[in-house]
A = this chain, B = another copy of it.
């Protein structure tokens, strides 16, 4: 069976997913929708797909699945519409910036029995997957401490910051998901501190650009996250897991691995300077995983619940900064999440 795709949103990330869908022999890109006519036409033309409206895709018999790459504030509505339309759904993170809205959306997904996968692409990075595999193969014993360093090459424009939901919901959310994924146990408390060191305009906009987070689980496992909106040396993305029998770490990635030596020392090039070049392979593997889910009618992961929990952790971090205390995740999620969150893993 070939999975027939509709793509909603032909922007930067839409193009990445269009390429991934096309490269997959089990998938076909049938239609593209975008509010900007030209963006849709160009992208559809490149891959031999049609331009259609979102309505048309919703009603189409020749579409099995959609990839949602539209602006964040449309995600929850579109998920609900396409869940009801019986399409499998891949949605870029986040589902919504508001925890209650996400809960409501997931109830619809659940009621419809829809397939929903959320775009935490880092789970599909080959290096991080190898870290996970080392844990799963019991090469480091019981996981005890996860250490994540995640720094952007530079701060985004303040305009973006204002719409982003803030550093925890926009940037740290990837690290929250990765921490959960690697700890193998739900996070119980979040403690965070944050400040403005990079760009005062970010502070004026009510956000932070530098953050540290500590997470703990009920059994006493730890995770720490270090975030900055600035790293002159490139896109700094490191993960390290310390266990009872050993440790495993994923090193930073650079476009070429040469070393130049002279009187000043030995110099390797800077890291990738952009998330799209750093995570090229992750994006491709992510869509492959989604296609596999749809084809095999198996549960999608990362699931909507994974998206909800990551958002709740972001909320808890923000609360922790503001109140100067450790915040229980259950203060945010209430009774919902604890039931089925890990079922999709």
Contacts and interface: CB of A to CB of B under 8 A. Distances in A.
A334 interface: no
Interface string A188-223: 010101011110000000000011101010001110
Q: Among the interface residues A129, A230, A244, A261, which one has the most CB atoms of the partner chain B within 10 A?
A: A261
Nearest to A137: B260
A157 interface: no
Interface stretch (A5-13, A94-102, A250-258): A250-258
Interface in A220-252: 220-222, 224, 226, 228, 230-233, 242, 244-251
B258 A246 contact: no
Interface stretch (A140-148, A169-177, A285-293): A140-148
A127 B254 CA distance: 11
Interface string A249-280: 11101011111111111111110000000000
Contact of A195 (B222, B244, B268, B324): B222
B261 A193 contact: no
A39 interface: no
B244 A261 contact: no
A62 to B, nearest CB: 20
B258 A249 contact: yes
A337 interface: no
Identical copies of this chain, number:
4
A281 to B, nearest CB: 10
B189 A191 contact: no
B259 A251 contact: yes
A193 B212 contact: no
A153 to B, nearest CB: 9
A71 interface: no
Interface of A: 126-127, 129-131, 134, 139-142, 144-145, 147, 149, 151, 189, 191, 193, 195-198, 210-212, 214, 216, 220-222, 224, 226, 228, 230-233, 242, 244-251, 253, 255-270, 324-326
15 contacts: A127-B257, A129-B256, A140-B260, A191-B326, A193-B214, A195-B216, A195-B222, A212-B222, A232-B262, A233-B261, A248-B258, A249-B261, A251-B257, A265-B270, A267-B268
Given A251-B257, A261-B270, 14 more contacts: A127-B258, A130-B269, A139-B262, A144-B230, A145-B228, A198-B244, A212-B222, A214-B214, A231-B242, A233-B265, A251-B259, A264-B270, A265-B268, A267-B267
